[in-house]
Structure 1
Amino acid sequence: MDEAATADRSLADETYRSLLEEILSAQLSGGAVIQERRLALRLGVSRSPMRDALGRLEGQGLLVRNAKGVLTVKVITLADYLNSIAVRLLIEPSAAAQACNAISTETLQTLRGMLEAIDADPDPAPAFIWEFDDALHNGIASASGNRFLADIIGQMRRYTTIFERQRKLAQRKPGLADHQAILTALNERDGEAARSAMTQHLEHIRRNVLSTY
């Protein structure tokens, strides 16, 4: 691949990541119409990398066509959310159990430090809470050693994250005790305890969301 093609690929990847973060953080909210030219101008990119990025997001189901064929941000419904949690309940506890064998001590120390900072702060920044949540769940998925598990968990977490952030359902310190239990099990390399802690955590999330409806 020549330098120009490599640069185009890198720019497309960067554009994709920027748009994905805007969707996950609800800056681009569900139902918003995607205006390709305006987005390209705002992000300072040409139409080519923008189209590439939008195509990837559409392929992942985060962008959809409405009845008129206009590209919009997918609205994540309660049914979508609950179905995503159901899939996570099927596979994420297994990923947590498998991660006990491979997750590094350094990663666990970093996660423990982040969680302690959240616990100590009377009003932690929501962005930092989400950063920790991503680091924990993505770290576990990656350490499971199963790329297919990690890919599915990542996809399902995008749906649940969008739903929670768009509807501002996260508590000030969501799942603190649950996250502590998961980290303790991982640190002790106790696969069954990690499986149980992750199951409990996801069940708590599901019940908390249903209680708001």
Structure 2
Amino acid sequence: MDGDSVATTEGSLADETYRTLLDDILAARLSGGAVVQERRLAMRLGVSRSPMRDALGRLEGQGLLVRNSKGVLTVRVITLKDYLNSLAMRLLIEPAAAAAACATIDPARVEALAAMLDAIDADPDPDPAVVWRFDDALHDGIGEASGNPFMAETITQMRRYTTIFERQRKLGRRKPGLADHRAILEALSARDAEGGRHAMAVHLERVREGVLSTY
């Protein structure tokens, strides 16, 4: 195997390791405050320490892993203040992204999202993983369809913090925001920019109020 092939393989392993660890953090399988044991994680995932270190470095650079007072790498604890600050950023950006997306989003994508939401609504006890998958597809899809990569990346980053907070504290309801999500999808389908802006703002504000009501 030549040098380029080795580098490509290691890069692919690092990307795969990063995605696995990111999923573990978002799903609270790696909980806030947990010490990151590099060797143990590498053994569990069956990778060498090189791609593991690359993945951990990326997560640390994104603020999802932090060093404690002793310099030990740990999973970041997302506080209520972090959550509210992240949600405030989303309130500034996502309504505008929804308005922009109304003009460009693929109708087939909106139909697929509506079908996902219908399935969740029809299921008396939907799998939380399915609910989160819909939420990711809707919000990340709107960011992508906005046509602004900076806006899309900010939405993704802020949603990571809010997702970690909600999942670690098990704040998600069984069928969260059905009416809000339908209103967003209806605006996207109708290409109603102001309706999309309003529906997204209402949705995020209700999310904020719902979390605050638990404290």
Which runs of structure 2 are paired with 1:59-70 in the superposition (5 Å)? 59-70=61-72
Of 169, 172, 185, 1:170 maps to 172
Deviation at 1:106, TM superposition (A): 1.3
Residue matched to 1:6 = 8
How far apart are the structure 1 equivalents of 2:185 and 2:203?
A: 12
Residue matched to 2:202 = 200
Deviation at 1:102, TM superposition (A): 1.2
Partner of 1:101: helix, strand, or coil? helix
Which runs of structure 2 are paired with 1:102-181 in the superposition (5 Å)? 102-181=104-183
Of 40, 43, 46, 2:45 maps to 43
| Structure 2 unpaired stretches of 5+ | none
Identity %: 72
> 1:108-160: CA deviations, max 9, x gaps?
11100000000000110000000000000000000000000001000000000
Partner of 1:100: helix, strand, or coil? helix
Equivalent residue letter for 2:29: Q
Equivalent residue letter for 2:182: Q
Equivalent residue letter for 2:171: L
Partner of 1:150: helix, strand, or coil? helix
How far apart are the structure 2 equivalents of 1:7 and 1:112?
A: 38
How far apart are the structure 2 equivalents of 1:4 and 1:127?
A: 35
| Structure 1 unpaired stretches of 5+ | none
How far apart are the structure 1 equivalents of 2:148 and 2:29?
A: 32
Q: CA RMSD in A?
A: 0.7
How far apart are the structure 2 equivalents of 1:23 and 1:11?
A: 18
Residue matched to 2:18 = 16
Of 187, 190, 193, 1:188 maps to 190
Deviation at 1:3, TM superposition (A): 1.4
Number of aligned residue pairs: 213
How far apart are the structure 1 equivalents of 2:182 and 2:208?
A: 18
Equivalent residue letter for 2:60: E
How far apart are the structure 2 equivalents of 1:100 and 1:48?
A: 43
Residue matched to 1:97 = 99
Partner of 2:176: helix, strand, or coil? coil
Equivalent residue letter for 1:102: T
Partner of 1:2: helix, strand, or coil? helix
Partner of 1:173: helix, strand, or coil? coil
Residue matched to 1:26 = 28
> 1:82-128: CA deviations, max 9, x gaps?
00000000010000000011110111111000000000001100000
Deviates more, 1:35-44 or 1:102-111: 102-111
Query: TM-score w.r.t. structure 2 length?
Result: 0.98
Partner of 1:64: helix, strand, or coil? strand
Partner of 1:145: helix, strand, or coil? coil
Deviation at 1:182, TM superposition (A): 0.1
